[in-house]
A and B are shown apart, each in its own frame.
Chain A
Amino acid sequence: MSVTLNQVRAGLFLDSVVLMQISRSLASVEGVEDAALMMATPANLDILSDAGLLAATRPAAGPGDLLIAVRAGDPASAEAALARAAERLEKPLVAAADGDSFSPRTLQGAARICLEANLALISVPGDFAGSEARKALRAGLNVMIFSDNVPLEEEIALKREARDRQLIVMGPDCGTAIIGGVPLAFANRVPRGDIAIVGASGTGIQEASSLIARNGGGISHAIGVGGRDLSEPVAGISTLTALEWLESDASTAHVVILSKPPADSVASQILETVASSSKTFTVCFLGARNVSLPANATLARTLKGAAADALGEQRAPVPFDSGQLARPVVGDRQRICGLFSGGSLSAEAQVVLIDRGHAVTSNAPVPGAGAVSKDSAVHELIDLGDDAYTRGRPHPMIDPAVRDEPLIAALADPGVGVILLDVVIGYGAHADPAGHLAGLLEAHWRSGPLVVASVTGTDADPQGWSRQTSSLTRAGVLVAPSNADAAALALACLDAR
């Protein structure tokens, strides 16, 4: 014999989506035959009566009241359903989290059930990223586009639309952000602090934020803007938005701007904004010289320099004495072969070498460096995260095996004196990149070049900076405390002959 229970919630209004969610939730309780939550209008009372959901004694309810109706095979099941209703009605503003909730298949669906969300992270093939980003913007969400291969015109259109909607588009090709303490995509776990980073460079943000964290500082927010944001066509739209927002952020005292050298017109606009700000700034346009800065900003040539400047004198990293750790290279090996997973880390290493008077080539050259050539006498620093290496393959930060082949070749190259590497850890990165590297070196490294590396990350990261550093040291790698220091150490090894 079925049992029908009704409960009236006088004057309680719930939106239709929540009403349906709770109805489904009650119907899924074991032993429940049918359940409904409806406004207790006369028409609905008739419907409930026809459905066998109205108790023998009609409940006293008006059209503005909510009626909970349950029919179950036994009293206990009916009571259990009403108890669940009571529980769910206590938190009607929270999207359902139990089994009856649905997994959204679209951005709009996600936005509907997760109303407190205000950012969408887009990670789909580049051809579709623009369309998804547009949907997110129109749903009132800020956007982080992890995807690459988004056409430039699309990026410009999206960023303009975001600006008009008082939103921001981070990306495309934005691999790193830390917003309000939450790492997004490739990012490191760093403490909260008063330093913000606005960066067109993912690994640049990771290196700078990690150095700041390891030297006692903290990050308020790190906002990635995508590698093309400071180009002339894009005109720094997202960077300017980020600076505007950070200006009104009480938790930020100092802002670091990281980018490869921007277009002149864009640099002028950025620096005008900097000049009008109440905050202090460190500007690091990797490889740029002779940048005319306003009084509240200082120029850093490297990521390490940017971190040190942001930390201030009292917390600046202890100077690294590369001579103490350097070992002489064997024979007349002349070259440094850099194999980087991070583009900005490759750029920073180029700057260090150029500043010390060395000729450098790269597939992603900074000002003063040359394009990769067959000239075996010149240092060559390769960004293995470049599109040319990652098309159809995972990024080397996700799969360090991407670096295996060129590394094995470099180990066997009689002209290479030092192999310079980065190891990037943190969320999104490989679970044990140092372990992978150590294994490869054990199998292929008999003699020949020295291997110098640094680890980008913190001890709070899942892989642990200290554990990764120890793995490398045990494998015979010379480990420097920063990427810039590793480049300096590589040169010191060449000089130590």
Chain B
Amino acid sequence: MGSGSVVAIAAESDLPPVHSRNIWHDGPLCGHRQQIIHAATIGSLAARVFQCAADGRVAAVFRQSFYVDIAGSWICIVRYGVGNGPINVVLKNTPGHVWPLEIKVGNDVQVSRSELLVGEGFTVHTGLARRWSPPPVPASSLADLARGLNALAAAVQGRIPRRGLGSFLTGSWPSSGAPLEALKARASVRALCGWLWSGSGSDLEVPMAVSTLVGLGPGLTPSGDDFLGGALIALARLRREDLACRLYWQIQPDLPSRTGAISRAHLSAAAAGEGLEALHAALDAVLTGASGSIGQRLSEIDRIGHCSGWDALAGAVTVLRSAPRIWSRSEATVA
């Protein structure tokens, strides 16, 4: 064959363009009304929800996922390929599995030890799902980290979305012309940096100004929340769970009044040191100075929401930059 534009050729026909149809829908691999799909992986926090039978409801439906609220615990059912995360249940790539699923907000949900039933038409089996947790903290040193931060600084050039807080990755403060959320965040991020740079083990209170990041900015999970989530996860990767705990307790009381339930669920997971797999991979690449893989990791970050991945990475990198002050020598060399 060759390298001609076949898609264009097909699109000229009087059939609907190929890319507009799900070609397996009515084919051998078609889905059925009663869809039973196995989960490939289940996040560590999502798995807890399956420990006892409970009822809930579908709270949100997106193009690649839907969220379920089980008595206040939120888990996210995602299609294959979206990626692992602490509250994610990733479905197997089942041939013929039709997506988007015929699931609607408000559908009843029942959870048992190995099943999640949505309405009467859809069942997720989790019995054979592999448990996903973030990888162990890799061995690293300040020299590795410095190398990783330098490589990251070079790799993000020209890639950061205009909206959100990704501009904090560049190391310079947003100035006029930056989106409003970035300008609004400056004081909060400065306060966070000041607290981090105040030193390892400091008893300084987390500044109140940090809380104003909560609920700030565009997106389903506002940029400020993603930024804080990244910061919490990075603190855990630096083995400073104590600081993560203090940061979370500073913002936690305000969360119900300042941000949405989905964002709160992700922040709660971040407080436990867990975030999306792509974020962990990017963080660990920076931590270990794996400069060759940072470009690929950024491509994965780019796939998280509109700018959520970048916002979270910016928060994480803000913490990593302070590692010389909050990362003791012994912590920096032990895996």
Contacts and interface: CB of A to CB of B under 8 A. Distances in A.
Q: Is the interface of B mostly helix, strand, loop or mixed?
A: loop
B24 A118 contact: yes
Interface residues of B, number: 70
Contacts, number: 219
Contact of B99 (A20, A115, A125, A165): A115
B216 interface: yes
B79 interface: yes
Most B Cβ at <10 Å: residue of A46, A118, A171 = A118
Contact of B214 (A43, A138, A249): A43
B258 A43 contact: yes
Contacts of A116: 21-22, 99-100
B15 A16 contact: no
A181 B6 CA distance: 17
A93 B28 contact: no
B153 interface: no
A13 B104 CA distance: 12
B117 to A, nearest CB: 22
A80 B300 CA distance: 37
Given A41-B215, A123-B6, A202-B1, A93 B25 contact: no
B21 A147 contact: no
B23 A41 contact: no
B2 A43 contact: no
Nearest to A179: B23
B217 interface: yes
Contacts of B222: 38-39, 41, 43-44
Interface stretch (B48-56, B61-69, B313-321, B326-334): B61-69
Contact of A115 (B60, B63, B180, B307): B63
B27 A63 contact: no
Nearest to B302: A108
B204 interface: no
B324 interface: no
B314 to A, nearest CB: 15
B305 interface: yes
A93 B258 CA distance: 27
A42 B257 contact: yes
A182 B214 CA distance: 49
Interface of A: 13-20, 23, 36, 38-39, 41-44, 46-47, 50-51, 63-64, 92-93, 95, 108, 110-112, 114-119, 121, 123-126, 138-140, 146-148, 165-167, 171, 173-175, 179-186, 189, 196, 202, 220-221, 245-246, 248-252, 390, 394-395, 398, 427-428, 462
Given A15-B62, A123-B6, A180-B21, 17 more contacts: A15-B63, A17-B63, A17-B305, A18-B62, A38-B217, A43-B224, A44-B216, A47-B181, A51-B180, A64-B260, A108-B303, A110-B19, A115-B63, A118-B24, A180-B24, A182-B18, A184-B18
Interface of B: 1-7, 9-10, 13-15, 18-19, 21-29, 59-65, 67, 79-81, 92-95, 99-100, 163, 180-181, 184, 212-222, 224, 256-263, 299, 303, 305-308
